[in-house]
Structure 1
Amino acid sequence: MMILAYLSVIAFVAYLVQIIYGFAFKRREKVKGRLHELEQDFVDPTDESVLQEPFKERIIKPAYQKFTALLGRTTPQGISKAMERTIIQAGSPGNINVNRLVSMMFMVAIILPAFYYLLLQATGIEVNILMIILLALAGFILPYYILNIKARARRAKIQKSLPDMLDLIFVSVEAGLGFDMALKRTTEKMPGPLSDEINRAIDEINKGRRREDALRGIYKRTGVDDISSFITAVIQSEQLGSNIANMLRVQSTSMRQKRRQRAEEAAMKVPIKMLFPLVFLMFPALFIVILGPAFIRIMSVFAD
């Protein structure tokens, strides 16, 4: 058990160093990987120059890729699709994919119990098997939970910025710009995740993808229902040939009303959320401060 724990810690440290290195030199590694792919089409794999590559590129990286691919294949298809959807809605942080996410979940599920075991061994406390199982479950869930939090935060940010962006698009169209040019000009003025998704859709349209599919892809990558209604209104307006400025005015007004309603709903939830901190944290302290001196005086009187 001790050997397994030490090996787990060593593997975790190596994996952490690799992640930090990947973030620090991500662009360089991307260019290097692309050049390596191009070289494979022209270089004989049996050439001795291949052996001059670093050990990490020849052994560790292919083994890690095969390991993550194996874990990805063993993941059920429904769970894999749900993870992929969450990764896309989170903005694909660190260019993570389903295979890397699953491997990270398994690794954290091994590392947390290993650290707990080593800590108890160092302090001489008896190991609790139930705690090890709970830590393994928590470590398995933790990476996906953090990714889900990032996806929710990104959706909330997109939903919050949508009414302001619609106002700016409407003003641009009213000023005489075309819808595509208004989108492009708005994304330049309002950088953010929503602007990134719109720019991606514009690039896909310029590369030949159907306009409807490119616009609907924004909703698939964000998961915000308000964007779905806006995209549907844009597509219907183009198909029916109606005035797009009037549609933008209606959508802008509707989105601002929805944002106001969500703010009012959140404000109405505040008293309920404050109830438990007041009852269990603030009221006991107030009772001690207010009734404490009186209780001490009463006790002193009865003691006399």
Structure 2
Amino acid sequence: MLYISIFLTVTLFVFGLLSLTTKKNAVVQERLNYFLLSEQKAKDENPQTQEKQQSFYNRIIKPIFLDIKKHSNKRISGEKEEKLDLKLQKAGNPFGMTPVDFRLLQTACLFILPSIFGGYAFLLNVSAGICIIFVLFGFLSGLFLPNHYLKMKTKTRSKMALREFPDILDLLTVSLEAGLGFDAAITKVVSKKEGVLIYEFQRCLEEIRIGKTRREALSGIRDRLDVDVIRAFISSILQAEKLGIGMVRVLRVQSNEVREQRKQRAEETAMKAPIKMLFPLILFIFPSLFIVLLGPAILQIIETFKNS
């Protein structure tokens, strides 16, 4: 028993010495890390070091662009900015552009595209008159292409919203019939689906939360979407809210009308299909058929005339 006690005492003593040494080393290492990290942090916070670590775009191009944007913003009047902002919203704010960004893009296109077309004409080694025509074509392209791009985006967005509208209207009708309020029904639909119209309803809810009235928020959807059916739907909701008519009844009538209109659009598209197929048939399929069917007969007639 005595030997065991001595062994345990010596073991605990050696373990205590080792623990104390390890703790001292850990404290020293911690203090060294603290001073080294503080020095590295001070170097990183140095403005010159931060400037060197930034890219060429952040150091040179971005400040110049922001300065040009600031000066351009002062030159655009409030009315023109509102109209351009509405156009961008109808197109879905492509690339997150603001009215000032779009103006700068238009200006850049007016300079860049004529230069590109003029350089191409120079490489082709054409006459001065043809070169002027190329430059003029580049100028007209720069003048009309940005607006044409916005119109295309608006048209595509409107088609997508029109395609999504019947299903969303059915979900809204079912939610209201289940006992939810109009705002709660929109929230439920927004949480279940995605798309252009869902984004607009989500924006409508956010505008209501920040203090806008329901009429103002829904009118914003009507202004941002170039779809007659959706505009009529928003107008019916606003009219029903104003007159105190039951929203479920209005939505049920609107749902039936929208389904009928979608059926009519499908029938109209089906009626247009044969006319659209006529041009490929005449240009590509009929000539091939004529070659296959009449080719051997024509060759035989030619050989007959040669022999005679």
Instruction: Give the 3-state SS of the residue equivalent to 2:104 in structure 1.
Output: helix
Residue 122 of structure 1, CA deviation: 3.6
Which runs of 5 or more structure 1 residues have no equivalent in the other structure? 1-48
CA separation of 1:119/1:269 partners in 2, compared to 1, >3 Å: closer, same or farther? same
Instruction: Give the 3-state SS of the residue equivalent to 1:191 in structure 2.
Output: coil
Residue 119 of structure 1, CA deviation: 3.1
Please show how residues 48-59 of structure 1 align to structure 2 within 5 Å.
Answer: 55-56=59-60, 59=63
Q: State which of 125, 133, 144 in structure 2 corresponds to 1:141.
A: 144
Q: State which of 61, 68, 71 in structure 1 corresponds to 2:65.
A: 61
Q: State which of 195, 199, 202 in structure 2 corresponds to 1:196.
A: 199
CA separation of 1:148/1:169 partners in 2, compared to 1, >3 Å: closer, same or farther? same
Equivalent residue letter for 1:160: R
Q: State which of 276, 282, 295 in structure 2 corresponds to 1:273.
A: 276
In structure 1, the residue matched to 2:86 is 85
User: Contact 1:68 / 1:100 at 8 angstroms: preserved in 2?
Assistant: no
Equivalent residue letter for 1:182: A
CA separation of 1:63/1:126 partners in 2, compared to 1, >3 Å: closer, same or farther? farther
**Per-residue Cα deviation, 1:121-163 (whole angstroms, up to 9, x for no partner):** 3454445121221232123211221221111010111111111
**Per-residue Cα deviation, 1:158-211 (whole angstroms, up to 9, x for no partner):** 111111101011111112222111111011111111111111111111222121
In structure 2, the residue matched to 1:13 is none
Q: State which of 216, 222, 245 in structure 2 corresponds to 1:213.
A: 216
Distance 2:163 2:298 in 1: 52
Sequence identity of aligned pairs in percent?
A: 36
CA separation of 1:84/1:203 partners in 2, compared to 1, >3 Å: closer, same or farther? closer
Q: How many residues align?
A: 253
Q: Relative contact order, CA 8 A, sep 6+: which one is greater? A: 1
In structure 1, the residue matched to 2:177 is 174
User: Contact 2:90 / 2:154 at 8 angstroms: preserved in 1?
Assistant: yes
- 1:159 is aligned to 2:128: no
TM-score normalised according to structure 2 size: 0.73
User: Contact 1:183 / 1:198 at 8 angstroms: preserved in 2?
Assistant: yes
Equivalent residue letter for 1:60: I
Instruction: Give the 3-state SS of the residue equivalent to 2:237 in structure 1.
Output: helix
**Pairwise CA RMSD:** 2.8
Distance 1:138 1:287 in 2: 41
Question: Highest Rg: 1 or 2?
Answer: 2
Which runs of 5 or more structure 2 residues have no equivalent in the other structure? 1-46, 52-57
CA separation of 1:81/1:273 partners in 2, compared to 1, >3 Å: closer, same or farther? farther
